[in-house]
Amino acid sequence: MTDDSDIDAIAAEYALGTLDPGERATVAARRRREPALDAAIVAWETRLGLLADLIPPVEPPAGVLARIEERIERLDRRPGMIAATAGDVMSLERRVGRWRRLAVAASLVAASLVGVIYVLETQRPAVPRTFVAVMQKDDASPSFLVTVDIETRLLTVRAVAAAAQPDKSYQLWMAHASFEGVRSLGLVSEQDLAPRPVLAAFDRSVIESATFAVSLEPAGGSPTNKPTGPVLFHAKLIQATN
């Protein structure tokens, strides 16, 4: 009776195509009358098929089989080996052949798994790192909320509790020690919540340590590209997600 480990080994060899033509024909005949062997072959074909779908074929390192055979020959030449009968030799040769094929199969599977892990890691979606700045009138009333995706450098600004002012516009600014003055990041309205690519030219370190501010300007924004009205709020970014 063939135990489960033998069935799994035979199924692996069959699925990998490492059996010689005579052995393959024998296993093909056996699987038609042995449900357990057929199920094991199907399972191995499914596993290997999934690997093949993910990565291109990978050849085992050159010389693997030759090194395995050389090691086996060295073991055979060890002093003190007991003489075997002809039947024992034939049985051993069959086992050695199977060991050789399984060694090659193991190398293929290991190489495939390394490839799968690499593909999965490289295809893993990046988790956005989000920073926020809360500009508050008081502890209970946030007036403006600035959100920045540091990877894409997209900025979103939202008026939360800031009331609209007749004939006036709120304008967002950024200040940093690396440049002189302030940089306008556009007007702030309750309707416009689209991400803005206004930080594309700045390094991450500058964005993360900059100060953001909102001033009250004439309708349409500052005519001088600098704050002309009162600067009502300012805040720095804090990291909200890793």
Q: What is the pLDDT of residues 166-189, one digit of tens each?
A: 899 999 999 999 998 899 999 988
Let me know whether 14 and 83 are in one domain: yes
Let me know whether 110 and 145 are in one domain: no
Let me know whether 81 and 174 are in one domain: no
- Which of 123, 157, 189 lies at the terminal end of a domain, its last residue? 123
Cα separation of 150 and 209, whole Å? 12
pLDDT tens-place string over residues 90-105 = 555 555 556 556 665 5
Looking at residue 5, what is its pLDDT?
59
Residues whose CB falls within 8 Å of the CB of residue 158, separated by 6 or more in sequence, listed in order = 144, 145, 146, 147, 190, 193
pLDDT tens-place string over residues 122-144 = 555 555 678 888 887 665 567 88
Backbone angles phi, psi at 191, to 5 degrees: -85, -30
Residues whose CB falls within 8 Å of the CB of residue 2, separated by 6 or more in sequence, listed in order = 10, 37
DSSP 196: B
Closest C-alpha among 44, 59, 41 to residue 112: 59
Let me know whether 155 and 235 are in one domain: yes
pLDDT at 207 over 60: yes
Q: Is 215 exposed, middle or buried (0-12, 13-18, 19+ CB in 10 A)?
A: buried
Residue that wins the pLDDT comparison between 6 and 145: 145
Let me know whether 139 and 73 are in one domain: no
Which residue is it, tokens 């993360």? Answer: 208
Residues of the domain holding 81 = 4-123
- Which of 54, 89, 123 lies at the terminal end of a domain, its last residue? 123
Closest C-alpha among 144, 156, 138, 158 to residue 213: 144
Let me know whether 155 and 213 are in one domain: yes
- Whether the predicted model's global pTM rises above the 0.75 cut: no
pLDDT at 88 over 60: no
Let me know whether 172 and 197 are in one domain: yes
Look up the CATH number of the domain holding residue 227: 2.60.40
Tokens standing for residue 60: 């085992």
pLDDT tens-place string over residues 58-82 = 666 777 778 877 877 777 666 655 4
Number of domains in the chain: 2
Looking at residue 13, what is its pLDDT?
85
